[in-house]
Amino acid sequence: MSFINEERLVEQFLELVKIDSETKHEGKIANYLKDKFLSLGLKVEEDNAKEATGFGANNLICTLDGNSHTGDGIFFSAHMDTVVPGKNIKPMIKDGYITSDGTTILGADDKAAIAIMIEIIHILKEQNANYGNVQFLISVGEESGLVGAKAIDTSLIKAKHGYVVDSDGEVGNIVVQAPYQMKIFTEIFGKSAHAGVAPVKGISAINVAAKAISKLKLGRIDKETTANIGYFKGGKETNIVCDYVEVLAEARSLQKDKVTKVVNEFKQTFDQVAKSNEATASVDITEVYPGFQLDKTDVVVSKAIEAAEICHLKPTLLKSGGGSDANIFNGFGFPTANLAVGYENIHTKKERIAIKNMVDLTEFVFKIIQLHVN
């Protein structure tokens, strides 16, 4: 679109990625964003996420009052934190791509989305466009397990539905389904003894845990379900029969009954193997985030499909194997799709994003806002 100011968009993105904001240390970027959104005439509110989570800032809820009230308000969400190494980022432009200098990540995940939000606000004002109320939700701690979104004050969210702008893949992709994730933390309690003098008097927690793990289904269980051991640790010296082991695992599935079945099998297996070896198992199961499933009839999906087609993008509906803030918002009762940003090689020093993708996504989001008025 001719009215998208590509130079302004790129400069805004470059400015954002230069601000250090590794997860748990979001204070500096949060202050910058508060000032930026206020300067653009938005109402900026904060929740108490910093106190609740111990992270570096609160979530920001920034509201742009619409000039039309013929449609429901919508929100767009991104996260302000980055993975490591994300300090002293030096962005570079080469051959139509923005990269770091190779010593850090770039931070397009998810600062490209924030830059696009800011450009959208400029465009809406400059073009005197017709739009309803739009909220921009900027979360902390996404890279640490969706911590900020989980702690967000939902009373500040006035829109009924919205979009997270934080998926990889081509611009136009729309994530409409994502998995449930459960964590399984297991402790095995054995009995210590001298490994050389009286090993039979001990019960090796390592041995018990290994026997249990050997019975578990791990990796790709079916096309919708996975399970993985994250770590296995315990023991002190080779001359001591290990009496304590920790095992941290996860299970994911697009279907809640499937992930529940997997974690229950984990618990039963550890309990049974421990008991048969005169040890004790303590298994703690927690839900990391809920799954969600939308279809093309849901308004956030149908409007995104229509907007993509108008923008000559290919609207591809996808299932994801990973979680995002969209999982949390859907769990809170806000139908939320996740839009692809077009960044590449995220969480690595080879991360990059094409300037064209940023421009295309800006056009896409702008059109979604317009369609939600009609």
Strand order in the sheet with 97-99: 92-94, 97-99, 352-354, 343-344
Beta-sheet pairing, 173-178 with 343-344: unpaired
For residues 67 and 374, give the distance between their C-alpha atoms in angstroms, rounded to a whole number.
Answer: 13
Give the Cα separation of 9 and 117 in Å (integer): 10
Class of residue 75 by CB neighbours under 10 A (exposed 0-12, middle 13-18, buried 19+): buried
Which backbone phi and psi does 47 adopt, to 5 degrees? -100, -160
Place of tokens 């969210």: 157
Beta pairing class for 173-178 and 316-319: parallel
Interatomic CA distance for residues 163 and 172, integer angstroms:
13
Closest CA to 241 of 278, 279, 196: 196
3-state SS class at 166:
strand
Residue with structure tokens 């003894």? 193
Distances (CA, A) of 94 to 24, 101, 353: 31, 11, 11
Structure tokens at 93: 């432009």
Annotated active-site positions, please?
A: 81, 142
Angle at 320 between CA 315 and CA 325, to 5 degrees: 95
Task: For residue 80, report the phi and psi dihedrals to the nearest 5 degrees.
Answer: -90, -15
Evaluate whether 335 touches 74 at the Cβ level (below 8 Å).
no
